[in-house]
Structure 1
Amino acid sequence: MLHVGDGHSIYWERCGTKGGKPAVFLHGGPGSGCSPKQRQQFDPELYDVLLFDQRGCGRSTPYACLDNNTTWDLVADIEKLREMCGHEKWLVFGGSWGSTLSLAYAQTHPERVAELVLRGIFLCRQNEMDWLYKYGASELYPEEWEKFVRHIPEEERGDIVEAYRKRLTSDDPAVQLAAAKAWSRWEGMTVTLLPDQEMLEEFTEDTHAVPVARIENHYFVNRCWLDEGQLLTNAHRLEGIPGIIIQGRHDCCTPPSAAWDLKKAWPEVELQIVPDGGHLFTEPGITDGLVRASDRFAGKAA
């Protein structure tokens, strides 16, 4: 555990080989926490990898806490962890919300980033938010969208994210839990190319659903503390940092248009579109691309 101030302590773990290529893994959500499967994207003989649970989630404390929990708090936490490890710079690896945080960190501290490996690009622009919570994904999963909005009275459905905020911050734990399960089920339906019942059960399990739903909603209500288009406007700060983006063609959670816009703003990045890929890193084509990217940056022969 690392005490980072503001009442927060974050869980971290370090694996691989001491003296190997330094890397930090930034999980998604926000609010999901890290898992053993995520370590498998790095060759442990070549990497010295740090993974951590971001504020309020996983094994970090306090549980599901929204206070002092912003994008810029997390960027500061990453720097504290880098200093703790004694690395001059490291590879930054993140998918989904982890790609957002990776970009925010890299644009703030470009001198500390050796390379970037990103998946499922999310730039937190209004059109991306609207795709998932207004119109877009709703057309592909109409029956699941109806279940999602059914949790909210009709008169509040004009702003679904705000309506869920009221329930996810309720003083009644039962109200919180019901809203969290509905929120997490909707997201879970959009993240895989093919149905995955085991993954959906994990997404909607109480101790997973509550922090993810509360923290995601908290970030989205506040637009992740980013100005509209900020990560594209500041893409010039990434100049000179080698990067690879692995993006599923059929990613219904973070569609490929965001990755394409980032590629145009950051021409030197390598964008790989996986033709049969969705959103999650566990899908075969996505996993293959990510492992090949981490191997390449460690100098491993193909």
Structure 2
Amino acid sequence: MSEELLFPEIEPFNSGFLQVSPIHKIYYEESGNPSGLPVVMVHGGPGDCSSPKHRRRFDPEKCRIILFDQRGAGQSLPSACLEENTTDHLVADMEKLRQHLAVDRWLVVGSSWGSTLSLVYAQAHPAAVLGMVLNGIFLGYRVNTDWIHGPSGAARIFPEHYDDYINWLPEDERSDPFDAYTKRIHGADKELAMEAAQRMLTYEGQIMAMEATTISKNEERAEAEAMMDAAEKQAAQAGFAQFAYSHCLLETHYAQADFFLKERQILDAVDVLKNIPITLIHGRYDLICPIKNAYKLNFFMPHSRLVVVSNAGHGTGEMLAEVMAEIDKMVALFT
């Protein structure tokens, strides 16, 4: 992510946990202008989390910036809990959060899986949504999981990374690596599960961005590690291992259930969104969520506007200028 493009660092003026079920409570925070335009940021994954850098995509003088962590993710509790954790639950949580914060209507901004959840939320609660800015469009199809983890998708672009990914598995399980990794991540052997999760997340990271971006990030990581002592390196590795485990546990929980969506659920209900201004932003060379997702959604939703970023993959950092510009335009419509 290009630091110079972001707004200055800010701290929340309000944060806490909202009890959304007898089991789950979700972390949320507010920053920026308490009287500003309410904007909610929906993170990706499933299994990723909100970040202090997410606050900095929005003008803090104009926006009341709302971040939250989805069930089981980030600071939400209990961590990595799969019980009562489906897309419908997450949609209900967003609506409970809106009501808890006394927000009438809000601008919804989502990335990757966050775009999926944002669309499903808006279809369930269109009257609560002012507008939407979505990037890295994902429609929840199993074909996308197959594209990432199978031999006929991203593997053809990064065969060396794919070979590393599948060669850890026994030969007789390499034809369906997603299923093989999922069984291990959800298995009783926690050490094996954590290793499998780290390998899955590493592979996804290797195909996430343009190659130049990946090389640059690897160099930055190597420089940072060179300045660490042994204890700091151990702590960093433990942190990554735990994040990878919780992330991939949630990701595979959703993916093996087709993200708890009916086939074509989003496309079949686009008419509900016809009065909501929507901007779609997508990297031309996205190997996690191929651009066909965004193109298809724009085709079925012609009132939306599609912005294609020519030299970008899946990561928001490579299209940050476009994302922030489109957020500013959408904010200007309502302020």
What TM-score do you get using the length of structure 1 for normalisation?
0.94
* Matching residue of 2:243: 208
| Residue 3 of structure 1 pairs with residue 19 of structure 2 | yes
* Cα distance in 2, alignment partners of residues 293 and 165 from structure 1: 37
Q: Where does 1:41-56 land on structure 2 (aligned, <5 Å)?
A: 41-56=57-72
- Aligned partner of 1:233 among 265, 268, 273: 268
Which residue number in structure 1 is paired with residue 287 of structure 2?
A: 252
Cα offset, 1:126, TM superposition: 2.8
Residue of structure 2 aligned with 1:23, choices 21, 34, 39 = 39
* The one of 242, 248, 255 aligned to 2:277: 242
Q: 2:158 aligns with which of 115, 118, 141?
A: 141
Deviation at 1:32, TM superposition (A): 0.9
Shift of 1:165: 1.8
Contact 1:188 1:199 in 2 (8 A): no
Which residue is equivalent to 2:96?
Answer: 80
- AA of the residue aligned to 1:295: D
| Alpha-carbon distance in structure 2 between the residues aligned to 1:152 and 1:81 | 42
> What is the one-letter code of the residue matched to 1:275?
S
- 1:53-72 superposed matches below 5 A: 53-72=69-88
1:266 Cα deviation after fit: 0.4
Determine helix, strand or coil for the equivalent of 2:132.
strand
Letter of the structure 1 residue corresponding to residue 200 of structure 2? W
| Superposed CA offset, 1:21-55 (max 9, x none) | 01111001111111111111110101001101111
Q: CA RMSD in A?
A: 1.9
Cα displacement string for residues 185-238 of structure 1 (whole angstroms, at most 9, x for unaligned residues): 111011111312257998991122111111001100000011122111111111
CA offsets per residue over residues 239-287 of structure 1, 9 Å max, x none?
110011111111111111000000001001010001111111112xx11
Instruction: Tell me the equivalent position of 1:165.
Output: 182
Number of the residue aligned with 1:118:
134
Match for 1:185 among 194, 198, 202? 202
Query: Are positions 1:217 and 2:233 aligned together?
Result: no
Structure 2 residue 333 is the aligned partner of structure 1 residue 294: no
TM-score (norm 2): 0.85
Find the aligned partners of 2:136 and 2:45 in 1 and give their Cα distance. 12
- Amino acid aligned to 2:19: H
Amino acid of the structure 2 residue aligned with 1:192: A
Percentage of pairs with the same residue: 39
The answer (yes or no) to whether the contact 1:169–1:214 under 8 Å persists in 2 is: yes
Q: d(CA) in 1 for partners of 2:22 and 2:181?
A: 26
Separation in 1 of the partners of 2:172 and 2:73? 32
Distance 2:41 2:275 in 1: 21
Change (3 A) 1:99 1:199: farther
Aligned length: 299
| CA–CA distance in structure 2, aligned partners of residues 262 and 68 of structure 1 | 29
Aligned-residue offset at 1:6: 4.1
Residue 281 of structure 1: aligned partner: 316
Mapped contact 1:6–1:68 kept (Cα < 8 A): no
Aligned to 2:51: 35
CA contact (8 A) 1:126 1:228 kept: no
Report if the CA contact (8 A) 2:142-2:255 is conserved: no
Matched, 1:106 2:106: no
**Distance in 2 of aligned mates of 1:121 and 1:20:** 27
Bigger Cα displacement from structure 2, 262-271 vs 197-206: 197-206
Task: State the 1:156 CA deviation.
Answer: 2.3
Report the AA paired with residue 288 of structure 1.
Answer: A
Does the 8 A contact of 2:194 with 2:242 survive in 1? no
In structure 1, runs of 5+ residues without a counterpart are none
Instruction: Report which of the two structures shows the higher radius of gyration computed on alpha carbons.
Output: 2
Deviations 1:139-173 (A, max 9, x none): 11111111111232222233322222211112222
